[in-house]
């Protein structure tokens, strides 16, 4: 895994009153495992930084075979994936999870099915990202992610419900970015020149009014981070972890 893929240190600074032990989180992960292990690491390190000693996260993890996920997505079997993720979320809830996390932007397409199946909170990656955008007073951002995330209305509609407009690349740039993610980044491979290519895809979106960039796939940080651009960069995975830390540590 590229060293610069490591998520920035998570923060519990927004926690007003700290618990002495973290709440238990249920993670639907392995989508892909490269990002999921980073999310797990960041949660564990964030809990330890907040509570000290040998403290770490209290995590239940359902890690998927990504080939199965990718095949189902390609076949358009989102209903089946929704049922599967919902059933697994219930299993984690029954095992004591106090909140559920879906560790991928694209798989938030099935978030409504998951939330409907459980009686505990769903920590929503898109809401964590929207909160950060609105905190900076922005209303129009570029969205870089998988083809499913960029083409399907589930992401743009969710952001629109929060008052945020998302701008995505035009074809064939959109298809090229999707292929980079599924063909290389999802396997932990960063091709030569990938950073420059993603930045070239992003540049026209600034001209269309983007005030910042959403890293709308948890693998995007493998190639582009905040130092690479001059506008605000919203790392969905890092913001997701911050929201999880607030939930599991706030008294």
Three-state secondary structure call for residue 184: coil
CA 109-150-85 angle, to 5 degrees, is 20
Question: Do 218 and 105 contact (CB within 8 A), yes or no?
Answer: yes
Pairing of strands 122-123, 140-144: unpaired
3-state SS, residue 171: coil
The answer to whether the 3-124+238-249 and 126-236 domains have the same CATH topology is: yes
Residue 17 confidence (pLDDT): 76
* Domain map (residue ranges) of the chain: 3-124+238-249, 126-236
Closest CA to 109 of 93, 124, 91, 92: 124
CB-based contacts of 82, cutoff 8 Å, min separation 6: 110, 112, 113, 114
Q: What is the mean pLDDT of each run of 10 residues along the chain (251 residues)?
A: 53 76 97 93 96 98 97 98 98 98 98 98 98 98 98 98 98 98 95 97 98 96 95 97 96 90
Count CB atoms within 10 A of the CB of residue 137: 7
**What is the model's pTM?**
0.93
- Domain at 126-236, CATH class: alpha beta
Residues whose CB falls within 8 Å of the CB of residue 234, separated by 6 or more in sequence, listed in order: 129, 132, 133, 141, 212, 213, 214, 215
CB neighbours of residue 53 within 10 Å: 6
For residue 104, the tally of other CB atoms under 10 A from its CB is: 29
Residues 6+ apart with CB under 8 A from 171: none
The pLDDT score that the predictor gives to residue 2 is: 45
- Fold observed for domain 3-124+238-249: Rossmann fold (3.40.50)
């Amino acid at each position: 895994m590229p060293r610069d893929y490591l998520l920035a240190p998570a923060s519990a600074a927004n926690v007003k009153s700290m618990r002495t032990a973290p709440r238990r989180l249920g993670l639907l992960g392995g989508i892909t495992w490269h990002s999921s292990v980073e999310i797990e690491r960041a949660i564990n390190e964030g809990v330890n930084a907040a509570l000290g000693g040998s403290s770490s996260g209290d995590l239940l993890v359902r890690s998927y075979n990504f080939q199965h996920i990718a095949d189902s997505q390609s076949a358009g079997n989102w209903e089946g994936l929704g049922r599967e993720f919902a059933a697994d979320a219930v299993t984690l809830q029954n095992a004591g999870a106090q909140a559920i996390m879906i560790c991928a932007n694209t798989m938030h397409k099935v978030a409504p099915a998951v939330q409907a199946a459980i009686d505990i909170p769903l920590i929503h990656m898109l809401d964590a990202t929207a909160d950060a955008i609105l905190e900076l007073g922005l209303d129009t951002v570029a969205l870089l992610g998988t083809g499913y995330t960029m083409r399907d209305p589930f992401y743009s509609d969710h952001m629109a419900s929060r008052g945020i407009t998302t701008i995505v690349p035009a074809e064939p740039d959109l298809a090229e970015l999707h292929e980079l993610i599924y063909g290389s980044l999802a396997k932990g491979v960063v091709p030569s020149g990938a950073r420059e290519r993603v930045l070239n895809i992003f540049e026209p979106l600034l001209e269309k009014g983007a005030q910042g960039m959403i890293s709308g796939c948890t693998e995007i940080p493998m190639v582009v981070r905040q130092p690479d651009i001059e506008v605000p960069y919203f790392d969905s995975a890092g913001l997701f972890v911050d929201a999880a830390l607030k939930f599991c540590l706030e008294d």
